[in-house]
């Protein structure tokens, strides 16, 4: 999997978006905080304190994120995707895999259960 690293200018926008999702249940869970910190250190080479980031102006735009259980599911999906051994984004061609079973592909690509 190829990781695209944001520039120093781009990093705060991504961090603010992650912060917004993590805060949706009311406060940032310690495991979400650790995931955000690890992501920014690894991808952006920064160490910005999450609580120091300015709030985004997203009022009313993403209300579904505030629904109970959405934020933990989103972070779990990010975590599961990061463990995969196959990049399904840019340049992925599905046709060679259409006749394979999902269980077989999950094992081969290290897609861990929800």
Distance CA 82, CA 64 (A): 24
Query: DSSP E strands: which ranges in the chain?
Result: none
| 49 in any annotated domain | yes
Domain annotation covers residue 32: yes
6: tokens are: 């944001």
In a domain, 93, yes or no: no
Contacts of 68 by beta carbon, 8 Å cutoff, 6+ apart: 25
Task: For residue 26, tell me if it sits in a domain.
Answer: yes
In the chain, what percentage of residues exceed pLDDT 90? 12
Q: Which two tokens stand for residue 90?
A: 């840019």
Average confidence (pLDDT) over 71-80: 80
* C-beta neighbour count of 50 within 10 angstroms: 17
Average pLDDT over residues 27-42: 83
Count of domains forming the chain? 1
Residue 13, Cβ neighbours under 10 Å: how many?
12
Is residue 2 in some structural domain?
Answer: no
Answer whether 80's CB lies under 8 Å from 86's CB: no
For residue 60, pLDDT over 60 is answered with no
91-113 pLDDT tens trace = 888 899 999 999 999 999 998 88
Using pLDDT thresholds of 50, 70 and 90, give the confidence band for residue 62. low
Question: Within a domain: residue 37?
Answer: yes
Examine residue 60 and state whether it is found in any structural domain, yes or no.
Answer: yes
Q: Domain range holding 74? A: 11-84
Q: What is the pLDDT of residue 108?
A: 93
59, 60, 70: which is closest to 24 by C-alpha?
70
Q: Global pTM?
A: 0.46
């Amino acid at each position: 999997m190829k990781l695209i690293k944001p520039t120093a200018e781009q990093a705060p926008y991504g961090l603010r978006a992650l912060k917004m999702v993590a805060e949706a249940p009311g406060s940032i869970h310690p495991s979400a905080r650790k995931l955000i910190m690890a992501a920014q250190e690894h991808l952006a080479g920064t160490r910005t304190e999450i609580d120091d980031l300015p709030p985004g102006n997203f009022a009313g735009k993403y209300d579904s994120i505030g629904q109970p259980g959405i934020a933990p599911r989103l972070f779990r999906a990010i975590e599961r995707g990061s463990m995969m051994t196959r990049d399904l984004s840019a340049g992925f061609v599905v046709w060679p895999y259409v006749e394979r079973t999902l269980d077989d592909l999950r094992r081969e690509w290290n897609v861990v259960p929800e």
